[in-house]
Amino acid sequence: MSSFPTLSDKAALEEGLVLAPKFDRDGLVTCVTTEAGTGELLMVAHMNAESLRLSIETGEAWYWSRSRQALWRKGETSGQLQTIVEMRVDCDQDALWIKVRVGGDGGCCHTGRRSCFYRVQPVGGAADAGLAFA
């Protein structure tokens, strides 16, 4: 059960100042995470009501791990804690964007890279080239 209100009024949802996240059928909302200083895209994860509440209360990024079906405090074991500098919600409140400072070695991805977005897919005329490492 969510501790956040549900707004049925479209104007209140889109223009109001009440946080009323629209969780999907699995009780999750997508969260895009970028580095606060550089704007670099670090990761995309999901939050449920509890991880969102914890993120707001503690100022640290908490997510819901879909694979483990468990709360996940980013960096708890790696030391790459994410301190939230700013949290934004999109127009219809079904996605979040957090800007963070990353502790430890500054990495974010479980592969050891700084960002989870380390591969590039060429588009247009070069689309047949396949993935390349950034």
User: What averages of pLDDT result for each successive group of 10 residues across the chain (134 residues)?
Assistant: 84 93 97 97 97 98 96 92 97 97 90 92 79 84
Of 16, 21, 25, 103, nearest to 61 by C-alpha is: 103
Determine phi and psi for 90, rounding to 5 degrees. Answer: -75, 180
118 SS3 class: coil
44 SS3 class: strand
Q: Where are the domains of the chain?
A: 10-133
pTM of the model: 0.90
What's the CATH code, domain 10-133? Answer: 3.10.20.810
